[in-house]
Structure 1
Amino acid sequence: MKRSRREFLTAATAAAALSPLGHVAAAEPEATQPAAPAAKKISNRIAISTYSFWQFRHKHLRDIEKCIQLSAEMGFDAVEILHRQMTDESPAYLQKLKRTALVNGVDLCGFSTHQGFLSPDKEKRQRNIDETIRYIRLAYEMGIPTMRVNTGTWGTSKDFDDLMANRGIEKPIEGYTDEDGYKWVIDSLEKCLPEAEKCGVLLGLENHWGLGRTPEGVLRIVDAIDNPWLQVTLDTGNFLEDPYDRLAMMASKAIYVQAKTYFGGGLWYTLDLDYPRIAKLLHEKGYRGYVALEFEGREDPLAGIPQSLSLLRSAFA
């Protein structure tokens, strides 16, 4: 005899009540927690300084527009402009460089400038402050978000070749000490920072001779100023001894990295840099920014630069 739907449900409920489990249905399995996402490996974008082409000696490779086009053809992601390589600063020219980068599919990511604050002459320091502020405005006009700054050198070496012969070590001006220099550099850079913040151009103090010859010197200045618009530009080739420990000291404050290579032998010196090791130490500190090639070898740049790009791609990606 057929049972009605009501009778069937009543019987099923009664049977469940008599079961050892005392449940109408088996318990649902416990919900599993979603697995934590795996840490994403850092892969840095590879840029190139226009200096890599020109090197202050290849006249046919000085034109910055040409450098931007060659960079794109070779496969770089971005270009850093060396100020001393520029032959024009007119607004029309600055916008032309911006356009050239856009149509070639590369960023303008860095602006490399020179200034010198190691002087007891207050007027000379002020001229360098004014020049640095002008550079910040040029970077802003080109849409460049980072700019390399230096402490400058004491100027007691005969020339740059002499400075390199002494491994970057230089005596202060007679009658003054490094302690005087730190005060001048800190005061000068502090006066540049309001314009940097206004323009949105992040300054990176480079380990680049003078008081920036050591990581302790760079960090002393950056920590004393303690401003988010001044951090560190880390140059892999400017520590001539024990580079890895010294680079690691500055890595947490690095906002930009310049990577030197020396195919064909270096112009002033040659370093055998372990770039996988450098990439690892930077990534351990969470560095995600640009890595900009500074080719400083005697090899023809049109041959040495592609070799350098392959080296950096392998190490940083």
Structure 2
Amino acid sequence: MKVSVSMYSLASTVKQENWSVTDFIQYAKSIPVDGVELLDVYWKRRENKDQELAEVKAELVKQGLPVCAYDVTNNFVKASAEERAQEVEKVKDGIRVAVELNCPVVRTFCGDLNGAITYEDGQRWIVEGLKECAALAEKEHVYLAIENHGLLAGKSGQVKEIISKVDNPYVQATFDTGNFLLVHESPMDAFNQLKDKIIHVHFKDFREKTAEDRHKGFTSIQGTELLGTIPGDGEVDLAYIMNGLKEMGYNGWLSMEYEGLDDAKEANEEAVRRLRQYIQE
């Protein structure tokens, strides 16, 4: 298994220090990790993305780092057909960027709660959108990896059902170890549900907010607030998941995604150290 870090894992530093994608790549090399995970939300020159993409590709070659996943921030649960078409195009653009980056995986979302729309209501739009995107993904030999994210399609059963209904081998799962806590599902149970669909892993941990914590956390579907932590300091049994990945012969990427409040650089350096220790145990 190979170790990566997501640019989102440095979100606070990116904002505070106005990092470019190349700044992040240089930092990632210094940790060090084996690769990086990039996101569509971090392009600075959107009016001239081709030039920025060329600069990023050159920096990746210079630092000797592959891109393990390219993350698209999409939402198929939109009221109008025009809006849904825009989200489909967003994912298709992500596939094209992934091809340019020689990246095998595009992380996708399903959608967010929107007014009175439930998971059942939005599932049809999600499946329709993914089917259209999957046609291009299959042509380009790029996997779409649905992340268990947010309060819609955040449960393992929902992710598995959507993958089944899309019914394309190029649509699989990004297994985010921490996000299941936000929908009050055991990450261990979720792993057992999804292990045959996992093509990418986000290594993440959360703990429940206490009375002493002053910062706002991530709110679960039942109103519980969770705070991001360095892996091993929270509620996820990461050793169980790591052992399961080893048993199934997973040989893909483990991508660090820290969402805590400590200094992001220091937290990620410690997180990567722990991640490598989990792999070796």
TM over 0.5: yes
Instruction: Kindly provide the CA deviation profile for residues 15-73 of structure 1, in whole angstroms up to 9, marking residues without a partner as x.
Output: xxxxxxxxxxxxxxxxxxxxxxxxxxxxx100000111124873315321111111111
CA RMSD, Structure 1 to Structure 2 (Å): 2.1
Aligned residue for 1:14? Answer: none
User: Structure 2: how far apart are the matches of 1:88 and 1:219?
Assistant: 36
Identity of aligned residues (%): 28
Number of residue equivalences: 256
The unaligned stretches of length 5 or more in structure 1 are: 1-43, 157-171
- The 3-state SS of whatever aligns with 2:255 is strand
Query: Shift of the alpha carbon at 1:226?
Result: 1.5
- The 3-state SS of whatever aligns with 2:270 is helix
Q: Would you say 1:202 and 2:143 are equivalent positions?
A: yes
Correspondence for 1:151 among 110, 119, 122: 110
Instruction: Give me the TM-score of the superposition, normalised by structure 2.
Output: 0.85
Instruction: Give me the TM-score of the superposition, normalised by structure 1.
Output: 0.75
Aligned residue for 1:63? Answer: 20
Aligned residue for 1:79? Answer: 36
Aligned residue for 2:53? Answer: 94
State whether residues 177 and 205 of structure 2, in contact with CA within 8 Å, keep that contact through their aligned partners in structure 1.
no
State whether residues 275 and 312 of structure 1, in contact with CA within 8 Å, keep that contact through their aligned partners in structure 2.
no
- The 3-state SS of whatever aligns with 1:75 is coil
Query: Shift of the alpha carbon at 1:122?
Result: 1.4
Structure with bigger strand share is: 2
Query: Partner letter of residue 116 of structure 1?
Result: N
Aligned residue for 1:111? Answer: 70
User: Structure 2: how far apart are the matches of 1:131 and 1:272?
Assistant: 34
Aligned residue for 1:300? Answer: 263
The alpha-carbon distance between structure 1 residues 182 and 62, as it changes in their structure 2 partners (threshold 3 A), is same
- The 3-state SS of whatever aligns with 1:66 is helix
User: Structure 1: how far apart are the matches of 2:164 and 2:122?
Assistant: 16
The alpha-carbon distance between structure 1 residues 46 and 200, as it changes in their structure 2 partners (threshold 3 A), is same
State whether residues 104 and 143 of structure 2, in contact with CA within 8 Å, keep that contact through their aligned partners in structure 1.
yes
The 5 A counterparts of 1:127-276 are 127-156=86-115, 172-173=116-117, 177-240=118-181, 241=184, 242-261=186-205, 267-268=217-218, 269-270=226-227, 271-276=234-239
Query: Shift of the alpha carbon at 1:97?
Result: 0.9
- The 3-state SS of whatever aligns with 2:77 is coil
The unaligned stretches of length 5 or more in structure 2 are: 208-212, 219-225, 228-233
User: Structure 1: how far apart are the matches of 2:272 and 2:18?
Assistant: 18
